[in-house]
Amino acid sequence: MVNEKVLDYANKISRVKRGSKDEIKPEYPEYRILEPVVTEAMAEVGLCLALREPRSVAEVAALCGKGEEETGKLLWELALSGAAFVNTIDGVDKYWHDIWVPGHMEMMVNNKENVRKFPVIAECFDLYGKRRGPMGAGNFPVGVGPMRVIPIEKSIDGETRRASYEEVSGYLDENSVFSVSDCSCRTSREVMGEGCGHLKEDMCIQMGHAAEYYIRTGRGRQITREEAFEIIRKAEANGLMHSIPNTDGPGKTHAICNCCGCGCFAMRLAGAWSNPDMVRSNYVSEVDPEKCVACGECVENCPTNALRLGQKICAKTPVKEKKRELPYDTEWGPDKWNPEYRTNRKVVTEGGTSPCKAECPAHIGIQGYLKLAAQGKYREALELIKTENPFPAVCGRICPRKCESACTRGDLDDPIAIDEVKKFIAQQDLSDRNRYVPRIRHEYGKRIAVVGAGPSGLSCAYYLAVEGYKVTVFEKQKALGGMLTLGIPSFRLEKEVVEAEIAILRELGVEFKTGVEVGKDLSLADLRGQGFKAFYLAIGAQAGRRLGLDGEDAKGVVTGVDFLREVNLGSAPRLSGKVVVIGGGNVAIDVARTATRVGGEAVTMYCLESRAEMPALPEEIDEALAESIAIENSWGPKRIVAENGRVVGVEFKKCVSVFDENRRFNPKFDESVTKLVPADQVLVSVGQAMDWGKLLEGGKIELNPNKTVKADPTTLQTAESDVFAGGDAMTGPKFAIDAIALGKEAAVSIHRYVQPGQSLTIGRVARDYRSLDKANLDLESYDRMPRQSACHDEDHACAPSFKDPRGTLTAEQVLKETERCLSCGATVVDQFMCVGCGACTLKCRFDAIKLVRKYDAAGLELRDMKPAVVKYVLKRKLRIAVAKPVKALKAAFSGDKS
């Protein structure tokens, strides 16, 4: 049943009359937000309040015909609910009403108890914006919207034309009373289960009369000016932007909000309705392409998706981006809007960007760290790498270098030695007394369990620890590192390097429990009982695959994975005699090279593929050959020959093709061509498999036919909502860098999962980086420059050992190598969508992006806003009418039938 007095009050706040075309109806959010908490009697006294005109209890009592005591109680209840302001003025409590936004909607959402009882309050805040937002699309001039972005002050330090009303510090210095509250927008999002991962706590600062109101009604806590500045600094460090209520007049406001583009309802005006003029500052971003290195930090942190990575290197035919229509002379209806703006962010332009960043599974800002290394800023280079990959010293030694395979320089001479530069940067840190340990951003304290201490589990633990969680890693082996420690021989990755990388996790507070097999020694249910809130299963592909051949159970036949594990644990018996390794991948190469170091006298590899088709990297093959390991190509095992239970040989059959016409693995054999190869040891290295043990018993988690776990490809969430999975356990055997990348994505999901009301997908950046078209590049003008190579232990091939023989580039070589980078990519700005917040400038390490003043709007008082908007709308309608025939004529001549 509609409460008519409450409906009257909703219309009063809305400044419309009942019965008019603009009247507030019972189904509108303006009424529905009041209905649960405002009684008829409260509404009656509310109807006697005035817009921003403080009135005492006595004045209101005289107007509404109630006694002062009753009126005072009702007004106080109205203020507590958020439907009225109260301040003590000249020793007397005075009340007034304000506008809905910014105003009562936020105030009502900040009453935590009411929102818990009546979630509709939070929902109505959202619905109000959805109802009113389309009305303003294209119709507000710059500086006249109810909320307005204020640039991060550091981003306009060098701007000589900046005004005092554009400085956050000015507002804080001019006020003496401050409070802080939760962000009302993100509170509403949380209640609706639409949180974006940016949390709400202690984010919005109130000043002056608003602070007094928030403190008195328990919505916020009182803080000092110094604490307010610290909140501003913390918000900026966490990628947030500043905005203010913009209805108090030029240079005046009563609050500073610290917003994100994916949660803030004011920023939704820019995102959902492509209407940035309604919230923008006077500034826009401008990129210096010569300085920009396409690291992508600004792109992923831009609140309005105004920044994307594009191409800087010269093209034969310039890539033309589609010309954007603007609302100034165009009808701005639903066909121009972007309602899915929180889930469809793009990170690259249509033409693509630097191939190295696009093809790296972790999308590291490679061009960026090459530039920093060239400048001798090795610590900063390391920090940039570790935003995406916490283990550069490891990956500098074992990475498959997909970035180098894609490197544009490779089309000119040789690819940049990206991995060698990364290894050099990491080595500076390993050799430093004061190693880089990232700052822990928050103190959430919630316990997270990671099962498996391989690259993916360690990566997840690292990023969760940095975020502020208490992480415990459970590892069934005695050694940490997973396949990094137990599956890769020391001559490729020395164990001291892995231990040094793990030491940083210990510094971050990560706890490790080795020799504990989850599923056997304790269950996930047990861990839940111990207070763990979420789990990341990253057990890897730690079991060797078998061939299913006759004789495979004979003594002396071992899978390559098991062989490497035993060698790395120091428990493998020495080999003797002839060793046959079956397989042609990188692991098979590792197995063969390890066999020569533990007694194998004549080691021969047999694989299905031809030499050109071998899956092992060319340099791995060359290293095996240099150690006198024989490689027999195009042979597949037929049976293993045993005598008295002991292997004595392997019969092979000729493989005539490995792939079908669609390049699918489908080997064909000539069964008439065989050969029997004597063998004292057979090491089978034809792939890896998952060994789940009892980990998943009794649960809902499902496996695919190949025993990988079923999990959402974006969020990594399994059928049990608190369990996430990644790395080889989800993808099947891949490279360490692939597992590391998924570990970071798992940390993102787990952070969102354990915080109330957060969506696993909303506001999440889909890192769909794509390479530019290298066929369209003009490389003729570039000089050829030789690739730098690290020194190598020449005695190693003569006397192989488990010591890594590969050296590291010198500082001089790094300088020469980084000079070879062609700087393929750069950030591109859509200045229409840029709201001038300055968040990008804080992320840039290269002084490549800055804010420039484009507009000169100081803002208006509330009473002056409507006339300004009406005047603007009339002028805009005239421009649209004039432009329509011109656009139609252009479309006709261009053949555009749209």
Helix (H) or strand (E) holding 659: strand 646-659
- Distance CA(337)–CA(753), nearest Å, equals 30
- Distance CA(585)–CA(400), nearest Å, equals 12
Contacts of 9 (CB under 8 A, 6+ apart): 34, 38, 43, 46, 47, 83
What is the mean pLDDT of the segment spanning 791-805? 76
Q: Specify the pLDDT at position 898.
A: 47
CB atoms within 10 A of CB 432: 12
- Distance CA(337)–CA(254), nearest Å, equals 31
Q: Specify the pLDDT at position 890.
A: 74
- Distance CA(111)–CA(325), nearest Å, equals 42
Beta-strand pair 681-684/578-582: parallel
Half-sphere exposure of 834 (CA within 13 A, CB side): 28
Q: Specify the pLDDT at position 794.
A: 66
- Distance CA(787)–CA(780), nearest Å, equals 18
- Cα-based distances in Å from 601 to 575, 579, 620, 798: 8, 7, 20, 14
Q: In what order do the strands lie in the sheet with 511-514?
A: 511-514, 470-475, 447-451, 532-537, 723-725
- Distance CA(88)–CA(153), nearest Å, equals 33
Extended beta strands in 779-875, E state: 825-829, 849-853
Is pLDDT of 896 > 70? no
Q: Specify the pLDDT at position 65.
A: 94
- Distance CA(29)–CA(109), nearest Å, equals 13
- Distance CA(333)–CA(425), nearest Å, equals 51
Dump the DSSP string for 559-609: EHHHHHHHHHTT-PPPP-SEEEEE--SHHHHHHHHHHHHTT-SEEEEEESS
Beta-strand pair 665-678/646-659: antiparallel
- Cα-based distances in Å from 469 to 460, 466, 625: 11, 7, 47
Q: What is the gyration radius of the CA atoms in the chain, in angstroms? A: 33
Helix (H) or strand (E) holding 257: strand 255-259
Backbone region of residue 551 per phi and psi (left: phi > 0; alpha: psi in -120 to 50; beta: other values): left
Q: In what order do the strands lie in the sheet with 55-56?
A: 55-56, 92-96, 85-89
Q: Specify the pLDDT at position 884.
A: 85
What are residue 304's phi and psi, to 5 degrees? -115, 10
Largest Cα–Cα distance of the chain, in whole Å?
110
- Distance CA(47)–CA(25), nearest Å, equals 17
- Which amino acid is present at 352? G
- Distance CA(522)–CA(73), nearest Å, equals 58
> Which residues on neighbouring strands pair with residue 748, listed in sequence order?
none
Which two three-digit tokens encode residue 108? Answer: 């009502």
Contacts of 79 (CB under 8 A, 6+ apart): 85, 86, 95, 213, 216, 217
Q: Which residue, chain included where needed, has tokens 């395979």?
A: 405
Q: pLDDT per residue over 506-565, tens digit each?
A: 999 999 999 999 999 999 999 999 999 999 999 999 999 999 999 999 999 999 999 999
Beta-strand pair 688-689/543-544: antiparallel
Backbone region of residue 704 per phi and psi (left: phi > 0; alpha: psi in -120 to 50; beta: other values): beta
Q: Specify the pLDDT at position 826.
A: 97
Half-sphere exposure of 569 (CA within 13 A, CB side): 17
Closest to 849 in 3D by CA, of 290, 356, 354, 387 = 290
Which two three-digit tokens encode residue 28? Answer: 């509108």
Q: pLDDT per residue over 340-356, tens digit each?
A: 999 999 999 999 999 99
- Distance CA(284)–CA(534), nearest Å, equals 41
CB atoms within 10 A of CB 546: 14
CA-angle at 770, arms to 765 and 773, nearest 5°? 160
What are residue 676's phi and psi, to 5 degrees? -105, 125
Q: pLDDT per residue over 40-74, tens digit each?
A: 999 999 999 999 999 999 999 999 999 999 999 99
Contacts of 678 (CB under 8 A, 6+ apart): 578, 648, 649
Contacts of 445 (CB under 8 A, 6+ apart): 468, 469, 470
CA-angle at 153, arms to 150 and 155, nearest 5°? 100
Q: pLDDT per residue over 767-788, tens digit each?
A: 999 999 999 999 988 989 999 9
CB atoms within 10 A of CB 787: 17
| pTM score, whole prediction | 0.94
First and final C-alpha spacing in the chain: 49
What is the mean pLDDT of the segment spanning 376-395? 97
Q: pLDDT per residue over 358-372, tens digit each?
A: 999 999 999 999 999
Handedness of CA 389, 394, 396, 401 (dihedral sign): negative
- Distance CA(820)–CA(370), nearest Å, equals 10
Contacts of 323 (CB under 8 A, 6+ apart): none
Q: What mean pLDDT value characterizes the chain? A: 95
- Cα-based distances in Å from 782 to 57, 373, 772, 825: 80, 22, 18, 16
CB atoms within 10 A of CB 483: 25
Is pLDDT of 651 > 80? yes
Per the CB < 8 A criterion, the answer to whether 524 and 535 are in contact is yes
- Distance CA(865)–CA(868), nearest Å, equals 5
Is pLDDT of 897 > 60? no
Dump the DSSP string for 691-730: --TTTTTTSS--B-TTSPBP--TTT-B-SSTTEEE-THHH
Band of residue 795 on the pLDDT scale cut at 50, 70, 90: low
Band of residue 200 on the pLDDT scale cut at 50, 70, 90: very high
Q: Specify the pLDDT at position 892.
A: 74
Question: What percent of the chain clears pLDDT 90, i.e. is strictly above it?
Answer: 90
Closest to 674 in 3D by CA, of 638, 631, 633 = 638
> Which residues on neighbouring strands pair with residue 372, listed in sequence order?
none
What is the mean pLDDT of the segment spanning 247-262? 95
Q: pLDDT per residue over 716-751, tens digit each?
A: 999 999 999 999 999 999 999 999 999 999 999 999
- Distance CA(796)–CA(803), nearest Å, equals 9
Q: Specify the pLDDT at position 421.
A: 97
Dump the DSSP string for 32-64: HTTTTT--HHHHHHHTT-BBTB-EEHHHHHHHH
- Cα-based distances in Å from 501 to 28, 121, 460, 497: 57, 48, 14, 6
Three-state DSSP class for residue 542: coil
Question: What percent of the chain clears pLDDT 70, i.e. is strictly above it?
Answer: 99
Is pLDDT of 413 > 60? yes
- Which amino acid is present at 282? N
